Structure 1
Amino acid sequence: MHAVVHGERTLTELDFTRLTKLGPVSSTLSDLLATADVTSARAVSADVVTMYSRVELVDVATHRRQMLTICYPGDAEPAAGFVSVLSPVGNSLLGLKTGDVARWHTPNGDECTAEIASIQYQPEATGDYSK
């Protein structure tokens, strides 16, 4: 488990392009877009969280496991585990790798920290380069 230094995240060209077209976004997403390494969907490593990746998280404090899928705002269904990339947790996970630690703040200001234990599904790893 290792913490991520700002700028150590990877986005696919398609994810980068779609995210830049979302309009006004949070400063953290703007920072991610400005500093991320951008690569082709075919070249992205299978251990990187891309859009529509299903990730298994382990809460660092409680060791509770949780599955989340990172999606665009229109597809978000938090109760079903689909979290928007514009949410604090979605934004904190995008571009990280298996073993990285994500940090975000809840709406009431609590800090959450979780390790990416595994990526259960990544569209690019299955040959889906259009999601």
Structure 2
Amino acid sequence: MIQSLAHRRPPITLRSTDAERLSHLADAAAERHPVTAEFLAVEVERAKVAPDEAPLPGVVCMESELSFRDNSTGKEKRVTLVYPPEADVEAGRISVLTPIGAALIGLSVGQSIAFETPSGEQRSLTVLSVSEPR
């Protein structure tokens, strides 16, 4: 199912270092989180990779603060996208190794993405705003 949804996904962009690190993270997490790890690996594989120094205004990168809307519920959230060791849901720091985090990485403001959670639930998110990583 992950592969069949991929052809309908919007184009995404990742910085070179993030793409490499995320690829390794997906490989390392394959046993513990197979569905999300595969989803993240597919996203990294299909991403346009930009040089680390390239400005990516409005693109969700690692450490970006962003707001998004859950299109299923209409609720809006503001979060920072981080690597798993820095995750703290209470503080609004979500891991890229969660279904939502993996869905958001590389999207631009205004883009929406549909994906399936490990429990089989269909979700859709829209990026509303992105602040550059600090």
Question: Is the TM value for this pair above 0.5?
Answer: yes
Q: How does 1:45-124 map to 2 (within 5 A)?
A: 45-119=56-130, 121-123=131-133
- Residue deviations 1:75-97, cap 9 Å, x none? 11112211111100000000000
- Residue deviations 1:23-69, cap 9 Å, x none? 24411111112111100122242111000111111222433221111
Moved over 4 A (4+): none
Q: Secondary structure at the match of 2:101?
A: helix
Alignment partner, residue 38 of structure 2: 27
Is the aligned partner of 1:15 residue 2:18?
yes
How many equivalent residue pairs? 120
Q: For structure 1, list consecutive stretches of 5 or more residues without a partner in the other structure.
A: none
- Cα pair distance change 1:32/1:107, threshold 3 Å: closer
The TM-score with structure 1 as length reference comes to 0.79
- Whether the 8 Å contact between 2:81 and 2:96 is mirrored in structure 1 is yes
Higher normalized helix content (fraction of residues): 2
Letter of the 2:123 counterpart: C
Q: Secondary structure at the match of 2:125?
A: strand
In the aligned structure 2, how far is the partner of 1:122 from the partner of 1:42? 13
Alignment partner, residue 4 of structure 2: none
- Cα pair distance change 1:57/1:91, threshold 3 Å: same
Q: Determine what percentage of the aligned residue pairs are the same residue.
A: 30
- Whether the 8 Å contact between 2:81 and 2:93 is mirrored in structure 1 is yes
The TM-score with structure 2 as length reference comes to 0.77
Letter of the 2:49 counterpart: V
